[in-house]
Structure 1
């Protein structure tokens, strides 16, 4: 059959060749934006695998433990993430800011000093935090619900291993070592936890929250040791041997805002679970926690973007390239929102079935899941505003914003949980997320001079259309700033 005049025979092969050219350019280009895209894509693949594995692991734990014991485990897990964020003193995230800046300015002596002092600071701080938790448990034992005492004690023992893992994850992210940075935390940890709990039940032990926390402790020991050797080995091959200079006081001062901000962010994330513990049973906490774990898949999308771009934000800001910064922010905002919108819609439509997989007693959590979906959309609509503030020297502002958001979330939860139960907690959390997102968007515009919200990303859509309409030599059409 001959080709029609409007559709020449070579048209389709030409598109195919352009597609291969774009794929080849994606894999081979070495500029910062291309490396950031590949790193983000790989990070998203790992986090997507993590979401699937974590969901399966949570299903297994819920099925084995039942809603009551699973609710206790969920409550302790929430506190573990909060304490882990605080106990690193911010050194789980500050490497993403400091290491690119040191490399950009050629400060190799300080870089070597930071890489040597960082893990020691994290270990000292986290061991001190674990000791304080244990002392607090002993002193407050008469006022602590007995079902939470033993699991909380085990959680404190696991804390230093989780914090050390956080530091080396930050180092790996700053060097684009995506697999050794993320695999131990987001794949190995969940896999070992699930297999450990299955082994516990198979060998005849009771599927209790205490035994689940012992499995978590063993998992953290194994995964943190693996990650430490994986990252330090690459550091030795990458950073040349030489003298070290230490700015410990400056590094701690610059890192603590990350600790406050991300600790507050974790507290913000789990404020609903913590408030619910005062008013509902562990079984109801389990139902709500299952809904939050399903909706957490959406949060993986902006996180994947952060993995690939946060250190690029820092480097572009350090060299004063505001136009380049605005271009990459627009691109990240548009594609993050588009993907998150689709994923959230799928989760909301299939939420009842996903909850039923945990057990029939979990299906009443669907209204809460649907409300949380709206909050997730508001979160991604703000774009990478928080990352941009952190990477451009406004970490203290972000930290205080996070603290204010925690206070707001707690207040809304206490106001809405009593009359509406877990649905009220979901509504309070979604309102707090939306208010925080709007505030951060206005703040980054005023402090950095960059637009981050989805409403400012329309030039990215125009660039995408130009890219498919007219191929460029390297497979990418450069996005231009708005007139």
Structure 2
């Protein structure tokens, strides 16, 4: 049977395409489970706390996820970039140095970053709403663990271990948040934003420590102890532009939530976040494919097999677009029902889905183009693309939210993401030589 043979090729193949597809399939399965789990956990949290308290919780949690990308200084991507290269070159001394150095550096840097963030909240406490002060201080204590978890995820992705990479963050942590929240509820604590934040902090520490123990055991078994060689200068030189790319990407995908939180009350933040979380059922396709292909981009780029890299990159766009389109249609069809699960007031977010989904589908059509640019040495211009899209997003939010409220935030997000997709298509074609858009014909490589 052709389908069975295709599955065997993917599951047991040893070439780069098979490895990437295998990683993407497992990542996709985890993302499917995690998307459903995250959605249901957010429904439970919203039902327990109410829209006002839930809005406070998701606002501060979004802030910590955004800051955590800065706090590890891009070392989660450094591991993905250099670990496959060191393995391929047999450079075990540098590999050992990278595995230990990336963890220590991210933990130290993120701890300092967290202390600065907490101090900033204290100094600016009179300028923010009283109900945000304690939740912000509490949630910022989790920054070091989120940063370390990102580095551990990067190491697992570099080894093509999708379960070790994705399960802690996307399966185990949400379950633990619910578990801690349910325990607090059973012990008689009030179901409010502070209880939810404490549950999230405890879940983050528990998950990251468990992930660290598992990854240390597995990697020590593959690469026994010995001399270590660190190259912080090389790593940081690569990390800083990539940090800008990753940070701009995270800011771009969350800026609308933060802007809504600045301009509108927590109940509106809750509605907008629930709408975005519903749309995450579409997003996970893109993230699953990106998790699978980034190490293969790095490997092909290191081998200098330009034609194979271009062919593989173009195929990756197909892997993101068609599943994303199918999921988008399904979410639009059932969106009203899905939002009503959060509570009756959340149904007002349904019209926003039709606006937001346009940007998501357009973005899926260019595939993991930013990963291709990062892994082929074009991280600087990639950072510029995300910076431009972020600037457009913030400017449009500033103009539209005060007048149009949540609709303004949705329009700003869709336009910014569409602009980002267009810029990525143009730059990837000029720099890598592949027209990375699913509906476009294959063109010849442009002249240098």
Q: Could you tell me which of 293, 304, 309 is aligned with 2:288?
A: 304
- Whole-Å separation in 2 of the counterparts to 1:309 and 1:264: 20
Q: Distance in 1 between matches of 2:441 and 2:362?
A: 15
2:59 to 64, 70, 75: 75
Residue 279, structure 1, aligned to residue 236, structure 2 = no
Which of 64, 71, 79 in structure 2 is aligned with 1:95? 79
Larger deviation, residues 333-342 vs 355-364: 333-342
Return the offset for 1:311: 1.0
1:233-312 matches, within 5 Å, as 233-312=217-296
Preserved contact between residue 326 and residue 451 of structure 1 (Cα < 8 Å): no
Task: State whether structure 2 residue 190 is matched by structure 1 residue 206.
Answer: yes
Q: Does the residue aligned with 2:382 lie in a helix, a strand or coil? A: helix
Of structures 1 and 2, the larger Rg is shown by 1
Taking the aligned partners of 2:15 and 2:279, their CA distance within structure 1 comes to 34
Could you tell me how far apart the structure 2 residues matched to 1:412 and 1:20 are?
A: 49
Q: CA deviation at 1:132?
A: 0.2
Answer yes or no: is the 8 Å Cα contact 2:290–2:371 preserved in 1: yes
Tell me what 2:326 maps to.
342
Distance 1:238 1:350 in 2: 46
* Counterpart position of 2:435: 451
In 1, are the aligned partners of 2:319 and 2:367 still within 8 Å (CA)? Answer: no
Corresponding position of 2:122: 138
For 2:365 and 2:20, locate their aligned partners in 1 and report how far apart those are by CA, in whole Å. 21
- Encode CA deviations 1:167-221: one digit per residue, 9 max, x unaligned: 0000000001111111111100000111221222222111111111100111011
Which residue of the partner structure matches residue 57 of structure 1?
Answer: 41
Tell whether the 8 Å contact from 2:310 to 2:432 is kept in structure 1 after alignment.
Answer: no
Partner SS, residue 92 of structure 1: helix
CA distance in structure 1 between the partners assigned to 2:424 and 2:4 by the alignment: 39
Name the CA distance, whole Å, in 1 between partners of 2:283 and 2:383: 19
1:111 aligned to 64, 72, 95, which one? 95
8 Å CA contact 1:181–1:231 kept in 2: the answer is no
**What is the Cα deviation at residue 457 of structure 1?**
6.7
Distance 2:189 2:314 in 1: 53
Alpha-carbon offset, residue 73 of structure 1: 0.6
- For residues 119 and 9 of structure 2, the distance between their equivalents in structure 1, rounded to whole angstroms, comes to 56
Distance 1:20 1:62 in 2: 43
Pairwise CA distance, 1:86: 0.6
- State which of 401, 405, 413 in structure 1 corresponds to 2:397: 413
2:70 to 57, 73, 86: 86
State the Cα distance separating 1:149 from its structure 2 match: 0.5
For structure 1, the residue ranges without an aligned partner over 5 or more in a row are 1-15, 460-480
Instruction: Quote the Cα distance in structure 1 between the aligned partners of 2:32 and 2:222.
Output: 29
Secondary structure of the residue that 2:332 maps to in structure 1? helix
The residue aligned with 1:10 is none
Q: Report the secondary structure of 1:278's partner residue.
A: helix
1:93 aligned counterpart, secondary structure: helix
From 322, 346, 351, give the equivalent of 1:367.
Answer: 351
CA deviations on 1:313-363 (whole Å, 9 max, x unpaired) are: 111111221211122122211131111000011101111111001010100
Deviates more, 1:427-436 or 1:99-108: 99-108
Supply the distance in 2 between the matched residues of 1:103 and 1:126 (Cα, whole angstroms). 27
Counterpart selection for 2:149 from 165, 168, 171 = 165
After TM superposition, the structure 1 stretch with the greater mean CA deviation from structure 2, 23-32 or 226-235, is 23-32
Match of 1:151 among 135, 138, 143: 135
Alpha-carbon distance between aligned partners in 2 of 1:422 and 1:296, rounded to the nearest angstrom:
18
Count of residue correspondences: 444
From 80, 104, 107, the equivalent of 1:123 is 107
Contact 1:334 1:458 in 2 (8 A): no
- Does the aligned pair in 2 maintain the 1:336–1:383 contact within 8 Å? yes
Q: How far apart in 1 are the matches of 2:242 and 2:72? A: 9
Specify whether residues 339 and 457 from structure 1 end up closer, same or farther in structure 2 by C-alpha distance, changes over 3 A only: farther
TM-score (norm 1): 0.89
